[in-house]
Amino acid sequence: MSATVTPPFAPVRGLVGLAVGTDHKGVALRLGGAAFGFFLAGGVLALLMRGELAQPGMQVTSRGGYDQLFSMHGSTMIYLFVTPAALALGMYLVPLQIGAREIAWPRLNLIGFWLLVLGGLVMWSGFLTRNGAGSAAWTAEYPQSAAVRTPGPGMDLWCAGVALAALSGIALAACQLATIAGRRAPGMTLLRMPVFTWSMLVTCLMTVASFPALLLAMALLLADRHGAGVFDSAGGPAAYQNIFWFYGHPVVYVMFFPFLGAVLEVVATFSGRRVFGYRAIVISLLVFTALSMSVWGHHMFTTGQVANGYFSLTSTMLAVPAGLEYLAMVGTMVGGAIVLRTPMLFALGFIVQFLVGGLSGIYVASPPLDYHVHDSYFVVAHFHYTLLAGSVFGLFAGIYYWWPKVTGRLLFERLGRVHFWLFVVGTNVTFIPQFVLGYDGMPRRVADYSPAYGWAGWNTASTVGAGIVALSVLVFIVNVALTSLAGRRAGPDPWEAQTLEWATTSPPPRHNFTAALPAIRSHAPLLDLREEAIL
Amino acid sequence: MQDLYLPIAAAVFAVIVVGLPVVLVRYRARPGRTPRPTRDRYAVDAVVALVLAAVVAVLVVVTLRTNDTETALAKPGFRVDAVAFQWGWQFSYPSRPGVVDRSAPGRPAKLHVPAGTTVEVSLRTRDVVHAFWIPDLRFKRDAWPRKTARFDLRFPAGTVAGVGHCAQYCGLKHSDMVFFVDAMDPARFASWSRTRGGRA
């Protein structure tokens, strides 16, 4: 017999490989790269908006232009950046963390990637059309989004692009769920899965449960815009909002849990001990997930069309599982030996700054308080503290943490610190003024404001902050470029980490593991190995 | 409401912002220090969950009560019919037939109300969803197509002038959809009523 084993197919390389290669790691890198590209594009839109708002009067764009800017900024960041970035993280790591050779349904997974790219291009191609890109905000509320109110193909392309992104999310989440259900290595029981994999499991459950509502909303809206009159009735506008927000709140946790999971892994690794209260983390994730499906009406407190009391109750209850996650993060550090490397800095930034978003979230979960701040800059500040100052800090914690695993090289520590501190200063200088502005009466989605309101100073400060955020992202890009030229080699496990992805080479081979897996007796098998070596 | 929510939020934030640096210094990696193996203490989780649940219960009860009183309709001293449209406002007053305050291009409408009494607003929209927001009163309500929203406002005595905004994005001139508020004391209200042709 021949000693070499012939693979069932030859790996495809080159440009064609980039297009059709199904290795989950390659697809995840391409998806993450695409998402990062959309992050930069959406960031440019944000800078243009902040430029316009820095002073009263119209300086940068027109009113119609501004409507496209904020609509496409929100849509790009939510549909094309944070959601796919979260799913890309899971796509890369879940098979590795559970000791699988490959993701389940790799071709569907590849299709999910292409659907996202296609959706993004379709949505952005609106800028090339008459009337420009979609301009009915990221929510496209009816009847503002009806053909007669927002005419032109740009808005249709927006609907189609969002629908493709929704399909992409469903496909990608299904693959990760199937991987977790069927491809865990021997010994990898559900309650031995790393917390990041648990966070992806609940993320994907929410995705498959809620993204079909988005797909439905977009299909019906497109039909309505082409004469079907779906929502053109007394109950139509409320029906649209109910369908949309049935997707629109679970997605908030789709854009949060993976980064919470990443932060928990980072905190455990850099504290040198396993996470505190593993089962409490799992249970609170599941409770969070269940509640997430029943809080959508809190986006509609001021509409008079939903039962405010019920949705206030369910939304405020989220404080309980959220508090347990915070207990887990801090409890893991207590008793540890904490090393403040860049991933840990970003994790700490996540813990403090997401808290601002979470606490202001409890505040807006109370209808009498929300009646004032709803649709104001207060709410803009609130969700940017959760998404940018929270989730994106978690994302960068994950990027700095897993970069050496993915590329084999460690990102530079000093540039990482510069990136971190600029990002901290930038996000706070941007969004603290927006809390003040919103409370003082500045509505969101306005292109201009009267100088008589005295808002120019706070707005200028916010614009300066956005510039600092942009600078911090540039520092990150420089760090990536320099690292790829001259970064230190990482080896399989540069951090003394705990989970299976660190038991293979960096980057991992085509089928993830060449040597036998270590015995899996807990959610931290590599820590088990080190502890046994001491005994 | 604020008096309840803000101190709790500030306390939680302070615990983390003060506690985290203490933990980071106390448990920083030093030569010779090995991390303590993690022992799960689910009793701690349970206690934290119970405390949080109790806080949530208090917040929700207070919220629901406040919401009921804030959205209940009292016997009004004055009524306003407000109509939102792309892009402006129209205010008329059932007890002052023929008196209409309406936006014109470049000139926002002015809402005239008596201060110190309950004002019932009936809010409608002629086209898309708008929102009626007077920041000084800390209240807003959406104008929903083919529906009428009814709510009470109470301008404190001594309120002179204010401004209102449309808070719901409603297209090209959303930014311009402001209105002025003139809440008048009884003497001024009487003279306004006379000059605008109504009975006091």
- Rounded distance, CA A213 to CA A223, Å? 15
Q: How does residue B197 score in pLDDT terms, banded at 50, 70 and 90?
A: low
For B14, nearest residue in chain A (alpha carbons): A352
Indicate the pTM of the whole model.
0.95
User: Would you tell me which residues 248-267 of chain A have a C-beta closer than 8 angstroms to some C-beta of chain B?
Assistant: none
Q: What is the pLDDT of residues A368-417, one digit of tens each?
A: 999 999 999 999 999 999 999 999 999 999 999 999 999 999 999 999 99
DSSP assignment of A80-138 equals IIIHHHHHHHHHHHHHHHTT-SS-SSHHHHHHHHHHHHHHHHHHHGGGGSTT-S--STT
CA-CA-CA-CA torsion sign (A219, A225, A229, A235): positive
Give the 3-state DSSP-derived string for B30-92, with helices as H, strands as E and coil as C.
CCCCCCCCCCCCHHHHHHHHHHHHHHHHHHHHHHHHHHHHHHCCCCCCEEEEEEEECCEEEEE
Q: What percentage of chain A exceeds 70 in pLDDT?
A: 98
Distance from CA of A36 to the nearest CA of B (A): 28
pLDDT for residue B62 is more than 60: yes
pLDDT, mean over chain A: 96
Q: Are A335 and A273 in contact (CB under 8 A)?
A: yes
What is the distance between the alpha carbons of residues A359 and A366, in angstroms, rounded to a whole number?
Answer: 12
Average pLDDT of the residues in A49-69: 97
Nearest neighbour of A144 by CB, restricted to B128, B133, B142: B128
> Which residues of chain A neighbour B133 with C-beta distances below 8 Å?
375-376, 441, 443
Residue A221 has pLDDT above 70, yes or no: yes
Does residue A186 sit in helix, strand or coil?
A: coil
Confidence (pLDDT) at B193 = 85
What is the model's pLDDT at position A528?
94
Question: How do residues A230-277 score in pLDDT, each as one tens digit?
Answer: 999 999 999 999 999 999 999 999 999 999 999 999 999 999 999 999
* Chain B (115-144) residues lying within 8 Å, Cβ to Cβ, of chain A: 127-129, 131, 133, 135-136, 138-142, 144
A340 to B38: CB separation less than 8 angstroms, yes or no: no
Largest pairwise CA distance in chain A: 87
Tell me the pLDDT tens digit for each residue of A130-173: 999 999 999 999 999 999 999 999 999 999 999 999 999 999 99
- Percent over 70 (pLDDT), chain B: 97
Q: With bands split at pLDDT 50, 70 and 90, how would you rate the model's confidence at A4? A: low
Quickly count: other Cβ atoms within 10 Å of residue A534's Cβ. 6
Q: Which of A43-57, A453-467, B26-40 has the lowest mean pLDDT?
A: B26-40
> What Cα–Cα distance (Å) separates residue A75 from each residue in A31, A99, A153, A163, A193?
17, 35, 17, 12, 33
Residues A299-319 pLDDT 10s: 999 998 899 999 999 999 999
Question: How much of chain B is in helix, strand and coil states, percent to nearest 5?
Answer: 35, 30, 35
CA distance B99 to A392: 54
Which pLDDT does position A81 carry in this prediction?
Answer: 98
Q: What is the pLDDT of residues A161-184, one digit of tens each?
A: 999 999 999 999 999 999 999 999
- Reported as a single tens digit per residue, the pLDDT across B68-114 is 998 899 999 999 999 999 999 999 999 988 899 999 988 999 999 99
**Closest CA in chain B for residue A313:** B60
- Average confidence (pLDDT) over A515-529: 95
| pLDDT at site A14 | 84
pLDDT averaged over every residue in chain B: 92
Spatial neighbors of A160 by CB under 8 A, at least 6 apart, are A119, A122, A123, A218, A222
Supply the pLDDT for residue B1.
83
Average pLDDT of B193-198?
Answer: 74
Cα separation, B8 vs A359, in Å, equals: 9
Q: What is the ipTM of this complex?
A: 0.95
Mean pLDDT, rounded, for A501-517 = 95
| Closest Cβ opposite residue A334 in set B23, B48, B136 | B23
**Is residue B141's pLDDT more than 80?**
yes
Query: From the list A302, A334, A366, which residue is nearest B1 (CB)?
Result: A366
